[in-house]
């Protein structure tokens, strides 16, 4: 027989105390809104779209009435001459048309502002930043009016020069340029601001030393500014790649669901939207979303590789 | 057993309360301008059923249908009565979320013969479920500017005898007045592709889901060829519908003709080009063909809370001659109900169309329009074929090749 040991001599700990609650649970409760919202609006849709990518489902059939089809949706999208490829091609083309000039203009512009407009720098960056924070829909509607073939300002100016009016949104070979122009206008200021902040992080001492060594402005730009701006350039390029691959609002409002004349402005995102909400083929749209994600991932990795390789050399 | 009995009791009680004098609120979701027709009819409804309040939820056209799609997918936020436009009714019919109105307690099969026949077919799914009651229809018609045609010396009747006559007249109009024949060559494709369909055919698929698009299909070959002839002759203004340029062309008379539903008259008169009153006339589509061009329906979601009153409301909107005529006079919603079409209001002249008795022409056209089979992949086919048509018009792509490419692409998607 064992002797019974008295339970405890110290007073029993209260099950609930304010201090204990503060220490152990309050942080979780205060941070929980993010996690709850993320679970509902972030993780769940992500998982659901992965699930749908392997199913055939029309939302009109209601939840639960899906049919498992395996890889069929992916095979459908990847098949030769599927619209998926045409849309992806348009997206990359418009992305390059809008993206490359953005950086070719933004970088020197930021340099000039940084070097010569010290006093007005704040005001100039604000003006350049305005398009970025203005509503995309409003911007696109204004551009739509400018592009109007018979009533638009652009063609009014062009015919003033004695040239034939341009069918900005009617001619399939003009459509990508017209869309790219809107995107360029909207994001060039954003990139200038990014580069400006990058430039401001470069120590003045480096430039002073270069001046002492007798370096010209060009030399300073190419041998000091550009190499030291690399991290910011990498960041800005990545944002442009991700943003342009997901291009939706501008072409959708400018050209409508069909992507304009000949579907020349049908981007991947518009195509996915159409398939999901017009054709109600949610599985196929989900599969294409994941393929688009893959394409963005690969392009970002290529960008990363190019930058890190250059970094190794210097 | 006990559970079933309880359930039956509750159901009976719920059904009983619907008839009692308790206040009932019925939600009705609609899009413009059907919502204005509903508003115009509401006073009559409130007089008849003072205890049933209608809560009208109106959203923009695409928003409404997107919202309804989401609501049907999740079963949440569904209205008691759902308005559906003809472009969506085929898809909604194939889904599982709407009540089959031909079953009890609705027994709507008996009402089918009261409507213009083709509209009933549009609301019937391929397995025979009747999911929505038609309220208005859009008889296809041909608008022309009388002043422009007179100036060019072109007779509208002769012009509409055949598509070749139409194009020939367009050349005369262009030469003598400088006005374009039509807004865009695609419109010619639009009419030709949806007229002269054989029984059991839809525009892109037949009733057995066989794809009709292809280089061997005479209807598509002709539609593409005529469209290209119009473009090559420089007869189209290359402007899209629902654009500022479109409205401008109506106002200035720079485009002589337009194919559309009868409803365009109301839009022209009310906001597009009110100053052109008296300059327009209408005719039937070329080669005496007929087509449906728009229309709206009312459906009851299976998950609706108040199906009984929803059905009463739908009957009031669609089967009541007074309601149908109110909608017609309010915003030109052409009645789907045959008895409403026999009203004397149809004999009245339309001042906007220079005093033409156009409503009689439209009524006749509506009755001659054949049912068109709808398919859930119509929107897929529509986009692909139109893209290929643009390739033909803009880049000189071979017509047979374009149709073969379109066929291959649609076949991939229609599964």
Domain contains B29 = yes
Average of per-residue pLDDT across B248-276: 92
Q: Work out the pLDDT band at B21, boundaries 50, 70, 90.
A: low
In a shared domain, residues B27 and B106: yes
Residues with Cβ within 8 Å of residue A49, at least 6 apart in sequence: A286, A289, A290
Domain count, chain B: 2
Domain contains B11 = no
In a shared domain, residues B47 and B157: no
Domain contains B215 = yes
Domain contains B349 = no
Q: H-helix or E-strand containing B152?
A: helix B146-152
Closest CB to A262: pick one of B379, B387, B405. Answer: B387
Task: Compute the distance between CA of residue A62 and CA of residue A286 in angstroms, rounded to an integer.
Answer: 17
pLDDT of residue B27: 96
**CATH number for the domain running over A76-308:** 1.10.3720.10
pLDDT of residue A149: 84
In a shared domain, residues B284 and B393: yes
**Tens of pLDDT, residues B364-403:** 999 999 888 778 888 899 999 999 999 999 999 999 999 9
Domain contains B271 = yes
By the 8 A CB rule, do B142 and B160 touch?
yes
pLDDT of residue A9: 61
SS3 content of chain A, % helix, strand, coil (to 5): 70, 0, 25
Local structure of residue B138 (DSSP, 8 states): E
Domain contains B78 = yes
Query: Å from B84 to nearest chain A CA?
Result: 13
In a shared domain, residues B155 and B265: yes
Contacts of B408 in chain A (CB under 8 A): 81
Domain contains B359 = no
pLDDT of residue B1: 44
Mean pLDDT, chain B, whole residue set: 90
Residues with Cβ within 8 Å of residue A22, at least 6 apart in sequence: none
Domain span including residue B264: 139-293+372-414
By the 8 A CB rule, do A144 and A227 touch?
no
In a shared domain, residues B314 and B404: no
**Tens of pLDDT, residues B40-58:** 999 999 999 999 999 999 9
The more confident residue out of B175 and A26 is B175
**Domain harbouring B48, CATH code:** 3.40.190.10
Contacts of A281 in chain B (CB under 8 A): 413
User: Cα dist. B37→B30, B57, B63, B272, B320 in Å?
Assistant: 10, 13, 19, 19, 14
In a shared domain, residues B116 and B180: no
Give the domain ranges of chain A: 76-308
In a shared domain, residues B235 and B118: no
Query: How do B24-30 and A67-68 pair as beta strands?
Result: unpaired
Average of per-residue pLDDT across B183-209: 90
Instruction: Record the pTM.
Output: 0.85
For residue B10, pLDDT over 80 is answered with no
In a shared domain, residues B310 and B398: no
Whether B392 has its CB under 8 Å from any CB of chain A: the answer is no
Whether B24 has its CB under 8 Å from any CB of chain A: the answer is no
Task: Compute the distance between CA of residue A314 and CA of residue A175 in angstroms, rounded to an integer.
Answer: 41
In a shared domain, residues B166 and B229: yes
In a shared domain, residues B44 and B127: yes
Contacts of A167 in chain B (CB under 8 A): 238
Closest CB to B73: pick one of A62, A170, A262. Answer: A62
Whether B165 has its CB under 8 Å from any CB of chain A: the answer is no
| B412 contacts A58? CB cut-off 8 A | no
In a shared domain, residues B289 and B307: no
For residue B7, pLDDT over 60 is answered with no
Average of per-residue pLDDT across B287-315: 93
In a shared domain, residues B260 and B379: yes
- Give the number of A-B residue pairs with CB atoms closer than 8 Å: 94
| B386 contacts A257? CB cut-off 8 A | no
Domain contains B209 = yes
Whether B190 has its CB under 8 Å from any CB of chain A: the answer is no
| Spans in chain A with pLDDT lower than 50 | 1, 312-314
Percentage of chain B with pLDDT > 90? 70
């Amino acid at each position: 027989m064992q002797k019974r040991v008295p339970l405890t001599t110290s007073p029993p700990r209260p099950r609930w105390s304010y201090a204990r609650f503060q220490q152990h649970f309050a942080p979780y409760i205060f941070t929980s809104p993010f996690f709850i919202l993320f679970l509902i609006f972030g993780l769940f849709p992500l998982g659901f779209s992965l699930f749908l990518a392997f199913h055939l489902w029309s939302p009109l059939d209601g939840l639960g009435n899906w049919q498992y089809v395996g890889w069929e949706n992916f095979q459908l999208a990847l098949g030769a001459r599927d619209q998926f490829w045409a849309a992806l091609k348009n997206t990359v083309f418009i992305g390059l048309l809008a993206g490359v000039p953005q950086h070719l203009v933004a970088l020197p512009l930021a340099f000039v502002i940084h070097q010569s407009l010290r006093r007005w720098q704040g005001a100039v960056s604000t003006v350049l930043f305005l398009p970025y924070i203005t509503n995309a829909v409003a911007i696109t509607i204004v551009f739509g009016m400018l592009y109007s073939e018979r009533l638009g300002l652009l063609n009014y100016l062009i015919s003033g020069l004695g040239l034939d009016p341009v069918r900005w949104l009617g001619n399939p070979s003009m459509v990508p340029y017209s869309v790219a122009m809107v995107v360029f206008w909207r994001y060039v200021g954003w990139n200038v601001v990014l580069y400006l902040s990058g430039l401001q992080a470069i120590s003045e001492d480096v430039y002073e030393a270069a001046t002492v060594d007798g370096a010209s402005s060009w030399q300073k730009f190419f041998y000091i500014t550009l190499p030291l701006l690399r991290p910011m350039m990498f960041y800005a390029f990545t944002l442009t790649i991700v943003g342009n691959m997901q291009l939706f609002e501008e072409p959708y409002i400018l050209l409508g669901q069909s992507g304009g004349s000949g579907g020349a402005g049908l981007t991947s995102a518009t195509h996915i939207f159409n398939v999901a909400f017009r054709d109600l083929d949610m599985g196929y749209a989900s599969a294409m979303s994941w393929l688009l994600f893959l394409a963005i991932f690969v392009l970002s990795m290529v960008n990363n590789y190019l930058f890190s390789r250059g970094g190794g050399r210097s | 057993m006990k559970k079933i009995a309880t359930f039956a009791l509750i159901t009976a009680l719920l059904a009983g309360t619907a008839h009692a004098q308790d206040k009932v609120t019925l939600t009705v979701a609609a899009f413009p301008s059907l919502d204005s027709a509903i508003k115009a009819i509401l006073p009559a409804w409130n007089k008849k059923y003072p205890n049933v309040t209608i809560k009208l939820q109106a959203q923009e056209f695409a928003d409404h249908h997107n919202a309804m799609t989401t609501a049907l997918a999740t079963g949440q936020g569904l209205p008691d009565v759902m308005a559906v436009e003809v472009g969506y009714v085929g898809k909604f019919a194939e889904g599982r979320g709407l009540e089959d109105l031909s079953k009890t307690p609705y027994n709507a099969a008996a009402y089918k013969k009261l409507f213009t026949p083709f509209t009933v077919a549009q609301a019937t799914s391929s397995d025979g479920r009747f999911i929505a009651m038609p309220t208005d229809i859009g008889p296809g018609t041909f608008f022309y500017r009388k002043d422009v045609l007179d100036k060019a010396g072109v007779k509208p009747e002769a012009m509409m005898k055949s598509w070749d006559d139409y194009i020939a007249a367009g050349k005369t109009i262009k030469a003598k007045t400088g006005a374009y024949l039509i807004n865009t060559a695609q419109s010619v494709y639009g009419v030709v592709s949806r007229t002269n369909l054989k029984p059991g055919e839809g525009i892109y698929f037949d009733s057995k889901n066989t794809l009709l698009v292809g280089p061997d299909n005479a209807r598509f070959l002709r539609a593409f060829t005529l469209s290209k002839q119009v473009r090559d002759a420089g007869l189209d203004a290359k402007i899209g519908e629902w654009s500022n340029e479109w409205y401008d062309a109506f106002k200035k008379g720079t485009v002589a003709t337009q194919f559309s539903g009868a409803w365009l008259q109301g839009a022209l008169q009310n906001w597009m080009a009110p100053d052109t009153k008296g300059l327009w006339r209408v005719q039937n589509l070329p080669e005496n063909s007929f087509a449906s061009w728009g229309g709206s329906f009312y459906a009851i979601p299976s998950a609706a809370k108040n199906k009984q009153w929803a059905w009463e409301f739908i009957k009031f909107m669609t089967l009541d001659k007074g309601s149908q005529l109110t909608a017609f006079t309010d915003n030109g919603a052409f009645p789907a109900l045959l008895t409403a079409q026999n009203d004397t209001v149809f004999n009245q002249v339309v001042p906007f169309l220079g005093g033409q008795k156009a409503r009689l022409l439209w009524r006749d056209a509506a009755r001659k329009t054949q049912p068109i089979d709808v398919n859930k992949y119509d929107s897929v086919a529509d986009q692909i074929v139109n893209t290929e048509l643009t390739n033909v018009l803009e880049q000189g792509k071979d017509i047979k090749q374009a149709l073969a490419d379109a066929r291959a692409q649609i076949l991939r998607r229609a599964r």
